[in-house]
Copies of this chain bind each other. A is one copy, B any other.
Amino acid sequence: MYEGVVQDLIDELGRLPGVGPKSAQRIAFHLLQADPVDVRRLSDVLVEVKAKVRFCATCFNVSESEHCRICTDPRRDPTVLCVVEEYKDVVAIERTREFRGRYHVLGGAISPIDGVGPDQLRIRELMTRLADGELTEIILATDPNLEGEATATYLTRLLRPLGLRVTRLASGLPVGGDLEYADEVTLGRAFVGRQAAP
């Protein structure tokens, strides 16, 4: 439809998640008119990110060296491990500054519909990490949705017999929200998980 290389660009952009044909076209036209220096910078960072970024050999967090900053930080508590689905969950938890232990990134959640079973996640690697006996608690911080809950249930069954303390993040009302607008499941969980008033 378009001049050869413009169509190539639209095709490549259209392969990105959440970028439909119309957005791809819009981005391509923007780039056609953009400063070549800006386009070059985007092009370079794409190459750089694939060259530099790898996954931590221990926890599978994103890392620029063999082991990530968190795994190599001696100030992090080696007895508590937080299991998350994705790298972005690590970033979200780090942002809270509430957790000083280490992580394990599963690489997703169990989802039969998407053909993801326990074997597709880094559960075998998680079990290997438990071998040294240093860990005392595992916090399952998978997403509070169907797949995340299924994954947490699966891991609980696997880990509890090992005599570890296995915990889940609290479910309840989001801070700053309106009770009135909470969905029933969340409100129900907030009741079940109620705590003594401070």
Contact = CB atoms under 8 A, between A and B. Distances in A.
Interface of A: 1-6, 8-9, 12-13, 15-19, 23, 25-32, 36, 38-50, 52-53, 62-64, 69, 86-88, 91, 95
Contact residues of A: prevailing secondary structure: helix
A71 to B, nearest CB: 13
A44 to B, nearest CB: 8
A26 B69 CA distance: 22
A91 B17 CA distance: 25
Number of copies of this kind of chain in the complex: 2
B27 A17 contact: yes
Contact of A6 (B12, B17, B49): B49
B53 A3 contact: yes
Contact of A62 (B2, B12, B62, B69): B2
A63 B3 contact: yes
Given A3-B63, A62-B3, A15 B38 contact: yes
B39 A50 contact: yes
Contact of A5 (B19, B26, B45, B95): B45
